[in-house]
Amino acid sequence: MAECVCPWWLGYLLANPIRKLYQNPNKILAPHIKPGMTVLEIGPGMGFFSLPMARMVGPDGKIVCLDIQEKMLSSLTRRARRARLENRILTRLASTDSLNIDEFAGNIDFVLAFAVVHEIPGQENLFMQIYQSMKKGATLLIAEPTGHVTDESFKKMLEITERLGFEKVSTPTVRGSISTVLKK
């Protein structure tokens, strides 16, 4: 599913705690995540959002993290183990044409796609698989970096999601990003 994939080694920079000063995971995600939820994260990198989400869902929740890079997932797994959150985070290696999440069909409460959709050439296929994984009423937060994504390409992406049945709920402010929340 990769078009222009973020190199694995850049994951260390993206997981840097200083990033919380301008993109605080708790502030961005708290309105969307509740204890006990099952959350799907597309392209988690090394877990900048994954670990805070694992804390938010609590011991009865799960975070399903999908990436096409094994090195990102292994770093995320190590970080989760160090934070004692490994029992809340499931990692899955996605392929170039599949998220490999059939077992979660209709079970996902919330999906996070942060700075990743622009890397995926088959966006319709991506959003179709996300849609199928979600419960009715579940939400999807998409945040794309303004330096990589134009307003026009974001609009085209939203047209795809609308055709698939998503409805726009809100447009949150996420620093350095063009963002939207969609509902199934």
Q: Which domains does the chain have, with CATH numbers?
A: 8-183 (3.40.50.150)
**pLDDT for res 96:** 76
- 150-159 mean pLDDT: 94
**pLDDT for res 1:** 40
- CA–CA distance, 160 with 155 (Å, rounded to integer): 9
Percent pLDDT > 90 in the chain is 65
The DSSP code for 180 is E
> Crossing angle for the helix pair 50-57 and 70-82, nearest 10 degrees?
50
The count of other CB atoms within 10 Å of the CB of residue 13 is 12
pLDDT over 50 at 2, yes or no: no
pLDDT tens per residue across span 3-56 = 466 655 455 455 566 656 667 899 999 999 999 999 999 989 878 899 999 999
pLDDT tens per residue across span 69-124 = 888 899 899 999 999 999 999 999 988 788 989 999 999 999 999 988 877 878 99
Mean pLDDT of the residues in the chain: 89
Global pTM value: 0.88
* Rama region for 106: left / alpha / beta (φ>0; ψ in -120 to 50; rest): left
